[in-house]
Amino acid sequence: MLRLLCLLILWFVAAHGTPCGAATIETPDPTVPRDVAPIVVPAWKSFEIPDNGVFVRWHGVTDDDCARLAGIRTLRYLDLSSSPLLSDRGLSRLAALQLEGLNLSNTAVGAEGLESLRTMSSLRHLNVSGRLKWSGRAVLALCKLERLTSLHITWDWLTSEQAALLVALPALEHLSLWTVCELSGPLASALQDAKQLRLLDLSGCRQIRSEVFDALAHCHKLEHLSLTNCVGPGDDVAGRLAALPRLRVLSLAGFESLSATGIDAIGRLTSLEELDVGVSGGTDEARSLNLGSLKNLKRLKLLSMSGRIFTSGSPASIFTQFRDLRILSLSHCKPVTDEVLKAVSVLRSLERLHLAQCGEVTDEGVSSLSACKALNALTLRDCPRIGDAAIVPLCRACPLRVLSLSGCVGVTDRGLEAIAKCRGLTNLGLDGLASVTGKALRALHELTDLTGLSLAGTALDDAGLQLLGKLPKLKTLILSGCLKVTDEGLVGLSNCATLRHLQLDGCRALSDEARKWLKTKLPHCHISD
């Protein structure tokens, strides 16, 4: 019973959320190979793992389950993340495997289990982020894995001395130290000698001393640096980055104390290809990001910004400088206007655009985006002045695969009619569209490529739900607060074999009996009610 409860919680955490996400810079995880598809072990039934498997992903694995894995000598990559019942005993059973990549994030593994990894002479990539049984002994066990080239670790109470030992691993190229309380002198000394380091992610570290940033100037091979949600001397950091000629990826989202002065320094990092930045703290003038400061970043392919980013001296036409831009996020930026979107519309290579809570944007600005012929993912969440006049031309002109209009209360049945003709859509979010009728929502069943659909707080009725239950690829369906859905509508979902996550909270017309019945019909689907 305990195992079943853990699996339910983990499945919900993994699946929860709307189908359409925002643009962020992600730290790559080498424990997941790019060219090998995983064998995914389902949590709810017995499953025969092939004897020649190379990459297995098994969430919710237990110590006893590891005996099955130990016999597969061809295994090279193993993802056992989100397995709270996996302990040192189970991991020790895998010691004879010659793995190259191992993900143990959010498990109960501790020092003894990590010590057993020393026998894996081929181990190069290790992810021990999230909740583990951390101790000084566990860190020392990691320090003995001298062939590691990438390491991801989360431990609030990791000391600078311990962090320095990890940086000193002779082959280490990728290091993520997440949510560490304080990083200071000892780490700085180690970084000065880390000539091989190419990726450093210090996201969530609450106090980074200036000497650590001074030491970064010695990491001449550094290509990827993430300081998301960190606390430190922001403007000083930006100035020091000029010494990193290979820096391609930089994330300073939520970095406290970064002001316009720091943004000016970032604008001189002409090798950047991906930039996530926001400004906070200080006066309104200090918080304002002068977009003109970034005009020399000609190589940018991803740009994500937040905060007050446009000043009177920063014309929106600066976007015309970013000819190679593929992904742009202006979510929560103030002010984003129609003038800005018209400037964005000249970006012919733009593939993904994310806007959220941009209250000044109207149909005129959004409809101009129909000139972006490569645009396949668009988020317009909580933009109340956007309506059908913007959506119809976009749906006709752009090859949309991902679309979120949640909270865009100006969209009506006419807009839904255009959306239903976007046959390439795979993910669609329409939460809170009160002006759309249940009859219009029925047309969504024609979008046969949909894998994720969010209709929370809409007028979806039983007839529409029964049609949606026939979608052949649907995996995630969010119906929270759909008051017109009754027990009769759930019958239409009972044959949706692909469904893996269904959210029914707030559906007041549904009986407990119908919910229980549906769970028996869809044993592989997590139903949140």
Residue 183 per-residue DSSP state: B
365-422 pLDDT per residue, tens = 999 999 999 999 999 999 999 999 999 999 999 999 999 999 999 999 999 999 999 9
pLDDT bin (cut points 50, 70, 90) of residue 89 is very high
pLDDT bin (cut points 50, 70, 90) of residue 206 is confident
Residue 41 per-residue DSSP state: P
pLDDT of residue 11: 37
Q: 353 with 377: CB under 8 angstroms?
A: yes
Q: Where are the domains of the chain?
A: 1-13+36-148
Q: Which of 14-23, 422-431, 518-527 has the highest mean pLDDT?
A: 422-431
> CA 372 to CA 352: how far, in whole Å?
10
pLDDT of residue 23: 59
pLDDT of residue 234: 65
CATH classification code of 1-13+36-148: 3.80.10.10
- Torsion angles phi and psi, residue 307, rounded to 5: 95, -165
Three-class HEC string of 386-436: CEHHHHHHHHHHCCCCEEECCCCCECCHHHHHHHCCCCCCCEEECCCCCCC
Q: Which of 46-50, 232-236, 392-396 has the highest mean pLDDT?
A: 392-396
Q: 454 with 479: CB under 8 angstroms?
A: no
Please compute the mean of the pLDDT values over residues 202-224 and round it to a whole number: 91
Q: 506 with 480: CB under 8 angstroms?
A: yes
Q: Which of 51-60, 241-250, 457-466 has the highest mean pLDDT?
A: 457-466
Scan for tokens 């690829």, then name that residue. 473
pLDDT of residue 319: 79
Please compute the mean of the pLDDT values over residues 433-460 and round it to a whole number: 96
Q: 102 with 78: CB under 8 angstroms?
A: yes
Scan for tokens 């964005």, then name that residue. 344
First to last CA, the chain: 20
**Antiparallel, parallel or unpaired: β 302-308 and 274-278:** parallel
pLDDT of residue 15: 37
Compute the chain's Rg from CA coordinates: 25
Q: 213 vs 429, which has greater pLDDT?
A: 429
Q: 503 with 479: CB under 8 angstroms?
A: yes
For residue 322, pLDDT beyond 80: yes
For residue 300, pLDDT beyond 50: yes
Surface-to-core class of residue 69, CB atoms within 10 Å of its CB (0-12 exposed, 13-18 middle, 19+ buried)? buried
For residues 77-100, one letter each, b for 16 or more C-beta atoms within 10 angstroms of the residue's C-beta and e for the rest, the string is bbbbbbbbbbbbbbbbbbeebebb
Please compute the mean of the pLDDT values over residues 253-261 and round it to a whole number: 74
For residue 166, pLDDT beyond 60: yes
Please report, for residues 468, 487, 519, 523, the alpha-carbon distance to residue 516 in angstroms, rounded to integers and kept in the order given: 20, 11, 5, 11
95-104 pLDDT per residue, tens = 999 999 999 9
pLDDT of residue 51: 86
120-130 pLDDT per residue, tens = 999 999 999 98
Which pTM value belongs to this model?
0.88
pLDDT of residue 55: 96
pLDDT of residue 40: 85
pLDDT bin (cut points 50, 70, 90) of residue 305 is confident
pLDDT of residue 14: 38
For residue 18, pLDDT beyond 60: no
Mean pLDDT taken over the chain: 88
> CA 141 to CA 153: how far, in whole Å?
13
24-34 pLDDT per residue, tens = 788 888 888 88
Amino acid at 514: A
Report the phi/psi class of residue 296: left, alpha or beta, with left for phi > 0 and alpha for psi in -120 to 50. alpha
pLDDT bin (cut points 50, 70, 90) of residue 44 is low
pLDDT bin (cut points 50, 70, 90) of residue 315 is low
Amino acid at 286: A
For residue 22, pLDDT beyond 60: no
**Antiparallel, parallel or unpaired: β 427-429 and 402-404:** parallel
% of the chain surpassing 90 pLDDT: 68
pLDDT bin (cut points 50, 70, 90) of residue 509 is very high
- Helices (H), ranges, 118-259: 136-143, 160-167, 185-192, 210-216, 234-240
Neighbours of 181 (CB within 10 A): 13
Q: 423 with 446: CB under 8 angstroms?
A: yes
Element (H, E) at 516: helix 512-521
For residue 47, pLDDT beyond 90: no
> CA 284 to CA 134: how far, in whole Å?
42
pLDDT of residue 309: 63
Element (H, E) at 77: strand 77-79
Element (H, E) at 378: strand 377-381
For residue 152, pLDDT beyond 50: yes
pLDDT of residue 254: 80
% of the chain surpassing 70 pLDDT: 90
